[in-house]
Amino acid sequence: MKKILLIILLTQLTACMSFSDRPFRSARNSIEEQVPNIRLDKEFAISIGNSMLTFLDVVSLNEADISELDHVQVAVYNVESGGQKIDFNEIDFSDTLRSRGKNLHWETIVKVREDGDQVWVLVGMDRSRNSLDAVSVFILENSELVMINVDGDFDHMIEFALKPASDSRRDRDAG
């Protein structure tokens, strides 16, 4: 009986994961169009769905409260540039991410440029609901591009993250 339950559990958990870069293909194609003479070849990709995140939340005894997330997707691409210096400075990442949802308005909140490294963090906001629904990160390091997408109820997660600070402040003010 234990073996059957274990097989069912493992089947359900692996059904909530994918090793395809399908969620990133439109972004990858957009980047290749915007930066001529480069090619992005997938090295690794993983997509984790809500069921797996809920399971991880239960296992961690709700310590992280990640069950509010819908998807966490990561892809790593090898950037072939034919020996030319790679500069993604001209890429419109907001336009690149529009394919993820027409209802999301994308804003760059972090942009870092150091020797050999370039990082962009963008947030997707649903203006009609006045909510933060997605975060995307692009990291270009030497000849490797890492793309990370996270979708879910960030409003709830922000409240969860700030609760200890709020409780601490109330205790301090009461004393």
Summarised one tens digit per residue, pLDDT across range 88-102 is 777 888 888 877 767
The whole-number pLDDT of residue 175 equals 57
pLDDT (average), residues 68-94: 83
The whole-number pLDDT of residue 16 equals 55
Residue type, 1: M
Q: In this model, does residue 156 exceed pLDDT 80? A: no
Q: How far is CA 56 from CA 8, 37, 42, 78, 153, in A?
A: 17, 41, 27, 30, 17
Q: How far is CA 100 from CA 33, 36, 41, 62, 135, in A?
A: 17, 23, 21, 29, 11
Name the pTM for this structure: 0.76
The whole-number pLDDT of residue 2 equals 62
Higher pLDDT, 28 or 156: 28
The partner residues of 39 in beta bridges, in order of sequence, read 80
CA dist 80 and 132 (Å) reads: 34
Q: Which of 5-9, 37-41, 64-68 has the highest mean pLDDT?
A: 37-41
pLDDT (average), residues 9-13: 52
Q: What is the mean pLDDT of the chain?
A: 78
Contacts of range 65-68, beta carbons closer than 8 Å, 24 or more positions apart = 65/156, 65/157, 65/160, 66/157, 68/152, 68/153, 68/154, 68/156, 68/157, 68/160
pLDDT (average), residues 4-28: 67
Query: Contact 76/43 with Cβ under 8 angstroms?
Result: yes
Q: In this model, does residue 24 exceed pLDDT 70? A: yes
